Amino acid sequence: MSKLITGKINLSKIDKTKLFKGQKGIYLNLTLWLNDAPDQYGNILSIEQSTTKEEKKLYIGSGKLYIKKEPEPIAPEPSKEVSPIVPEILPGNNNEMDDLPF
């Protein structure tokens, strides 16, 4: 199943001398690290400007797994149960229950 990762790049950290012109624009080589566990901010992806072994690593961004927020369920309305209609038994009325022994 595919997963969407959203990220941010700090453009002010980019070493602009590493930019190069290609056929369709200006490019920058990147290295993306998918981490085993999220960091303290929930990031699971580290974005690094590609460097040589001799150069210090230059982290320029990070990314998080996108999780679509589910709409909150709407609470059902309280049930409006109707109680069964019970005929009132009043003294002096001719009810079918008059022959009860109590």
The answer on pLDDT for 51 being more than 80 is: yes
Give the pLDDT band of residue 69 (cuts 50, 70, 90): confident
18 three-state secondary structure: helix
Which tokens in the block code for residue 18? 């590493």
User: Could you tell me the two tokens for 2?
Assistant: 């595919």
Mean pLDDT of all residues in 52-72: 88
Which pLDDT tens digit goes with each residue over 25-42?
999 999 999 999 999 999
Are 50 and 20 in contact by the 8 Å Cβ rule? The answer is no
**Domain residue spans of the chain:** 13-65
Query: Which residue has 């566990």 as its token pair?
Result: 37
What do you get for the CA distance between the two ends of the chain, in Å? 73
